[in-house]
Amino acid sequence: GMTCSTMTKMFIFVLTFHMNYLSAELGNLERFTHPYHKRDRRAVCGFYRYDPRYEMCCYGNIVPRSGRWPSCCGSKGYDVVYNMCCQGNIQPRSGAQPSCCRSKGFDASYNICCYGNIQSKTGGKPRCCWRKSFNALHNMCCEGDVVPRPGGQPNCCGSKGYDASYEMCCGGNIVPKTGNDPQCCGKESYDPAYQICCSGKVSPRKGGQNTNCCASKSYDTLRSMCCLKNIVPMLGRYPACCGRISYDAANQMCCNNKLVPRTGFWSVCCGSKGYDAYSSMCCYGDIVARSGRLPACCGRKAYDSMYQMCCVGNVVPKSGRAPRCCGRESYDAFHNECCYGRVC
């Protein structure tokens, strides 16, 4: 008969054979039933191959294809039927109008997204006022604040609301409209038909349409004039300004902000004095008599440049056919030369 040792060896052999067979069968079963079996790695994702029938590539990451409509959300996979991708985050689809509010999901049929903040819809016309929701039928948003909506023509004046049909916003101040064509003057309103705005202040139109501004005051341009922000009367036929005062340019001249009498048609200024340019001339602030046919100045003196010349402030007669200066003297360059300031 068979020994105990022989029977033990035969039992181990049969057991090992059946275990190997079972393992092979289970392997074959897994090959044909496992949904993510990678037997057809034809596609490439980064440095790796994958089977696009069971997997997909999401930004270099191989993920299993799941659901009826698989898609990528960043490096992750999700089913578009039940979820949505909000700025790289997978969020569940909820409600009748699933939408994204930055990285969060919400139902747009009952909520509204206000700059990343999910708010409940209020009233029949929901709108956002920065991160808050409001009903635009009864309220309005002014510089981030929800304020009551006025009637007529609602508008904002800073953080306040007003009716633009009879009010206006002037410098952040709500003021009533005045006249047919109201305008703003600083923080006030005015009627341009009867008023004028001068440096942010409302003044009456003293001369009707001939009114103008002189600094912050108004004046009649037919009766007055503005001289350095000073209102002064118009004088004579040719009114003009001399500093802050007025004068008649037909009878006077303004020389360095000083009034001097006009002596004739050729009257002009020499510094703060007046003179007759027909008979005199101004040489460096001094009034001197005109000299000769071609008068000119040599310092504070006058000379006739036809027969004389000015050499370093000294009036000397012209010499010869080619007169030149040599220092304070004149010489004829046709016959002489100038050697170091002297005629040679």
Structure tokens at 21: 């067979």
Q: How far, in Å, CA of 166 to CA of 144, rounded? A: 24
With contact defined as beta carbons under 8 Å apart, do 311 and 319 qualify? no
| Residue 306: inside a domain | yes
Question: Looking at 9-13, 142-146, 245-249, 273-277, which range is the least confident one?
Answer: 9-13
Instruction: Provide the pLDDT for residue 8.
Output: 56
Q: What is the pLDDT of residues 171-206, one digit of tens each?
A: 999 999 989 999 999 999 999 999 999 999 999 998
Measured distance between the N- and C-terminal CA atoms of the chain, rounded to whole angstroms: 162
| Residue 334: inside a domain | yes
Residue 271 to residues 39, 238, 274, 282: CA-CA distances in angstroms?
108, 22, 8, 9
- Amino acid identity, position 330: S
Share of the chain above pLDDT 70, in %: 89
User: Which domain, by its residues, includes 320?
Assistant: 297-343
| Residue 319: inside a domain | yes
Q: How far, in Å, CA of 249 to CA of 238, rounded? A: 5
| Residue 134: inside a domain | no
| Residue 147: inside a domain | no
Instruction: Provide the pLDDT for residue 11.
Output: 54
Q: How many structural domains compose the chain?
A: 1
Q: How far, in Å, CA of 253 to CA of 238, rounded? A: 11
Nearest residue to 12 via CA among 285, 4, 119: 4
